A and B are shown apart, each in its own frame.
Chain A
Amino acid sequence: MNAIAIRDLVKSYGKQRAVDDLTLEVDEGSVYGLLGPNGSGKSTTFKCLLGLARPDAGELAVCGSPVTPATFEYLSFVPERATLCDWMNGADHLEAARRAYAHYDEARAAELVAIFKLDLKKRVRKLSKGQQTALALVLAFSIRPRVLVLDEPSSGLDPIYQRVVLDLIIDAAAGGGTVVFSSHQIGQVERAADRVGILSNGKLVLQGDLDTLKGNRKVVEAVFPGEAVALGDLARDPRIEHITQNGRIVRAYLYRDPEAIVAAFNGLGARSVTVFDLTLEDMFLDSVEKRGK
Chain B
Amino acid sequence: MPYVEFLRVRRIFVRFAIVIVVIVGFTLLSFYAAEMPGGSHGVSVVVGEGQGSSATSQVQSHSLGDLLASLSQIPIPLNGILTIPMIVATIFASLIATSLNRERSVLALIFTKPISRERLALRYFLTDLAGIALAYLLVLALAIAVPFATLGSRVHLVADGLSPWVAILGFGMAFMWFGVLQALTAWYRGNGGAIVGFAWPAAFVLLFLGQTDAFGPLVHGLLLVLNLINPFAYVNGISESGMLSYYAALSLPVRAVLMYGIATLGCAIAIASWNRIEA
Residues of A that sit less than 8 Å from B by CB: 47, 50-54, 69-73, 75-77, 79, 83-85, 87-88, 92, 95-96, 99-102
Interchain CB contact under 8 A, A100 and B107: no
Interchain CB contact under 8 A, A72 and B7: no
B105 within 8 A of A: yes
Interchain CB contact under 8 A, A83 and B115: no
- Smallest beta-carbon distance B120→chain A, Å: 9
A53, A72, A87, A100, most chain B CB atoms within 10 A: A100
Choice from B11, B106, B115, B278 contacting A47 with Cβ under 8 Å: B278
- Smallest beta-carbon distance B197→chain A, Å: 20
A73-B114, A95-B3 known; A54+B278 contact, CB < 8 A = yes
Q: Which of B82-135 contact A (CB under 8 A)?
A: 105-109, 111-116, 119
Closest to B111 in A: A52
Q: Which residues of B contact A71 (CB under 8 A)?
A: 114
11 A–B contacts from the bound complex (CB under 8 Å): A47-B108, A47-B278, A69-B114, A72-B113, A83-B108, A92-B3, A96-B4, A99-B3, A100-B113, A100-B115, A101-B114
Interchain CB contact under 8 A, B111 and A84: no
B143 within 8 A of A: no
* A72 vs B113: C-alpha distance when bound (angstroms): 5
Given contacts A69-B114, A100-B113, 7 further A-B contacts (CB under 8 A): A50-B112, A52-B107, A69-B113, A75-B112, A76-B112, A83-B105, A85-B109
B81 within 8 A of A: no
* A102 vs B105: C-alpha distance when bound (angstroms): 25
* A101 vs B105: C-alpha distance when bound (angstroms): 22
Closest to B106 in A: A83
Interchain CB contact under 8 A, B1 and A100: yes
* A266 vs B59: C-alpha distance when bound (angstroms): 117
A50-B112, A51-B111, A69-B113 known; A92+B279 contact, CB < 8 A = no
Q: Which residues of A contact B106 (CB under 8 A)?
A: 83-85
A100-B115, A101-B114 known; A83+B278 contact, CB < 8 A = no
Q: Which residues of B contact A100 (CB under 8 A)?
A: 1, 3, 113-115
- Smallest beta-carbon distance B212→chain A, Å: 45
Interchain CB contact under 8 A, A92 and B114: no
Interchain CB contact under 8 A, B108 and A52: yes
B114, B116, B278, most chain A CB atoms within 10 A: B114
* A95 vs B3: C-alpha distance when bound (angstroms): 8
Q: Which of B215-267 contact A (CB under 8 A)?
A: none
Q: Which residues of A contact B116 (CB under 8 A)?
A: 69
- Smallest beta-carbon distance A79→chain B, Å: 4
* A293 vs B156: C-alpha distance when bound (angstroms): 87
Interchain CB contact under 8 A, B109 and A83: yes
* A100 vs B107: C-alpha distance when bound (angstroms): 15
Choice from A52, A73, A88 contacting B7 with Cβ under 8 Å: A88
Interchain CB contact under 8 A, B114 and A52: no
Interchain CB contact under 8 A, A72 and B112: yes
Q: Which residues of B contact A54 (CB under 8 A)?
A: 278
Interchain CB contact under 8 A, A88 and B4: yes
| Interchain residue pairs A-B with the least CB separation, the first 10 | A52-B279, A79-B108, A83-B108, A96-B3, A72-B114, A83-B109, A73-B114, A77-B112, A53-B278, A96-B1
* A51 vs B114: C-alpha distance when bound (angstroms): 12
Q: Which residues of A contact B4 (CB under 8 A)?
A: 85, 88, 92, 96
Q: Which residues of A contact B109 (CB under 8 A)?
A: 79, 83-85
Closest to B113 in A: A100
* A101 vs B111: C-alpha distance when bound (angstroms): 13
Q: Which residues of A contact B8 (CB under 8 A)?
A: 87
Q: Which residues of B contact A101 (CB under 8 A)?
A: 113-114
Q: Which residues of B contact A69 (CB under 8 A)?
A: 113-116, 119
